[in-house]
Amino acid sequence: MKYQHMKFCKLLSELDSEEKARAWIWLAKFDGKEFICPKCSNEICWHHHKNPEIKECRKCHFEVRLRAGTIFQKSKTPLLIWLRAICLVTQGKRGISAMELQADLGMKSYGTAWILLHKIREALRQRDETYKLKNIIELDGAVFGKRHTGNQTEVLVAIESKDWRDQKGRRKTKAGFAKVLVAKETKENAQNFVDKAIEKNAMVNTDASPSLIHLENVDIDYQVMSSNQEVLDHWLAWVHKFISNAKSWIVGTHHGVEAKYLSQYLAEYTFRFNRRHDPDSLFFRALGACVHAKPVTSQVLFR
Q: What is the pLDDT of residue 221?
A: 58
CATH number for the domain harbouring residue 152: 3.30.420
Element (H, E) at 231: helix 229-235
For residue 206, what are the β-bridge partners?
224
pLDDT at 63 over 80: yes
For residue 55, what are the β-bridge partners?
47, 64
Asked if 201 and 113 sit in the same domain, the reply is: no
Q: 115 is in which domain, residue-wise?
A: 8-34+67-129+282-301
Asked if 257 and 159 sit in the same domain, the reply is: yes
Asked if 74 and 191 sit in the same domain, the reply is: no
| Within-domain flag for 81 | yes
Mean pLDDT of the chain: 90
| Within-domain flag for 163 | yes
Asked if 293 and 211 sit in the same domain, the reply is: no
| Within-domain flag for 1 | no
- Residue 276, Cβ density class (10 Å: 0-12 exposed, 13-18 middle, ≥19 buried): exposed
Q: What is the mean pLDDT of residues 56-60?
A: 96
Asked if 162 and 118 sit in the same domain, the reply is: no
Number of domains in the chain: 2
pLDDT at 149 over 80: no
Asked if 125 and 144 sit in the same domain, the reply is: no
Listed in sequence order, the residues at least 6 apart from 200 whose beta carbon sits closer than 8 Å to its beta carbon are 218, 219, 220
Tell me the CA distances in angstroms from 60 to 33, 57, 93, 232, one per residue in order: 18, 6, 46, 61
Asked if 175 and 260 sit in the same domain, the reply is: yes
| Within-domain flag for 53 | no
Interatomic CA distance for residues 167 and 177, integer angstroms: 24
First to last CA, the chain: 34
Asked if 150 and 100 sit in the same domain, the reply is: no
Q: Name the 3-class secondary structure at 290.
A: helix
pLDDT at 230 over 60: yes
Asked if 151 and 264 sit in the same domain, the reply is: yes
| DSSP H stretches of helix in 60-161 | 79-90, 98-105, 110-128
Are the C-beta atoms of 107 and 274 separated by less than 8 Å? no
* Amino acid of residue 60: C
In which band, very low, low, confident or very high, does the pLDDT at 216 lie, cut at 50, 70 and 90? confident
Asked if 95 and 183 sit in the same domain, the reply is: no
pLDDT at 171 over 80: no
Q: What is the pLDDT of residue 294?
A: 94
Instruction: Name, of 108-112, 173-177, 231-235, the range with top average pLDDT.
Output: 108-112
| Within-domain flag for 54 | no
Q: What is the mean pLDDT of residues 22-50?
A: 94
DSSP 231-254: HHHHHTHHHHHHHHHHHHHHHHHH
Percent of the chain with pLDDT over 70: 95
In which band, very low, low, confident or very high, does the pLDDT at 70 lie, cut at 50, 70 and 90? very high
pLDDT at 235 over 90: no
| Within-domain flag for 117 | yes
pLDDT at 140 over 70: yes
| Within-domain flag for 266 | yes
| Within-domain flag for 48 | no
pLDDT at 278 over 60: yes
Asked if 269 and 198 sit in the same domain, the reply is: yes
CA 110 and chain centroid, separation? 22
